[in-house]
């Protein structure tokens, strides 16, 4: 039976859902510091990793069975947005299944690169990507950084062995 749909292979084969320790360390350092380099380093590390964007099933049609029990007949999968009291919205992303499940156990993870998450945020007219909202170290990505990521760029830390201090730049992956 061919329904005209193909499942693409995972861009993250062997992904077990665990957060990379170096990613969590970089987020912890960024949250603990007021140094902009710590924030940029955390974003650069996230650009070398995958994040998990949660999706939730929402019933679109409910049915009643012979025993009088109701059930979902149809459901749509929706990307989850968080809305602040002031109306700003954020796309959620997580570094690992533990952080996603601490937030909401019934959410399903979709592994993507950070630039893809940023593109989704902008397509949904969302101004922020919020990483690990339930902890252990929440990080906000917005403004010019989010714009550059959504344009397909990835932040990289440049070699600072020349004594010029920490430097960062934008790279564009060539696939």
Q: Is 143 left (phi over 0), alpha (psi -120 to 50) or beta?
A: left
Nearest Cα to 111, choosing from 122, 100, 121?
100
Q: How far apart are CA 8 and CA 65, in angstroms?
A: 35
For residue 66, the model assigns a pLDDT of 65
Per residue in 81-109, pLDDT tens?
888 888 889 999 999 999 999 999 999 99
53 and 93 Cβ atoms separated by less than 8 Å? yes
Q: Which domains does the chain have, with CATH numbers?
A: 21-60+72-171 (3.40.1350.90)
For residue 39, the model assigns a pLDDT of 97
Phi, psi angles (nearest 5°) of residue 100: -65, -45
61 and 72 Cβ atoms separated by less than 8 Å? yes
124: tokens are 């949904």
Read off the DSSP letter of residue 94: B
Name the stretches of the chain with pLDDT < 50: 1
């Amino acid at each position: 039976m061919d329904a005209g749909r193909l499942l693409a292979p995972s861009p993250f084969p062997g992904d077990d859902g665990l957060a990379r320790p170096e990613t969590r360390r970089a987020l912890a350092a960024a949250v603990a510091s007021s140094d902009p380099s710590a924030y940029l380093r955390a974003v650069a590390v996230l650009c070398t990793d995958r994040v998990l964007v949660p999706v939730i099933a929402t019933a679109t049609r409910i049915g009643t069975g012979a025993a009088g029990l109701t059930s979902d007949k149809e459901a749509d999968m929706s990307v989850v947005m968080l809305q602040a009291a002031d109306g700003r919205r954020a796309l959620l992303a997580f570094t690992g299944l533990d952080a996603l499940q601490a937030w909401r156990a019934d959410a399903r993870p979709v592994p993507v690169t950070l630039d893809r998450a940023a593109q989704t945020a902008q397509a949904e007219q969302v101004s922020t990507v919020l990483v690990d909202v339930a902890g252990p170290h929440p990080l906000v990505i917005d403004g010019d950084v989010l714009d550059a990521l959504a344009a397909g760029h990835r932040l990289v830390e440049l070699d600072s062995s020349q004594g010029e201090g920490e430097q960062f730049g934008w790279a564009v992956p060539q696939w």
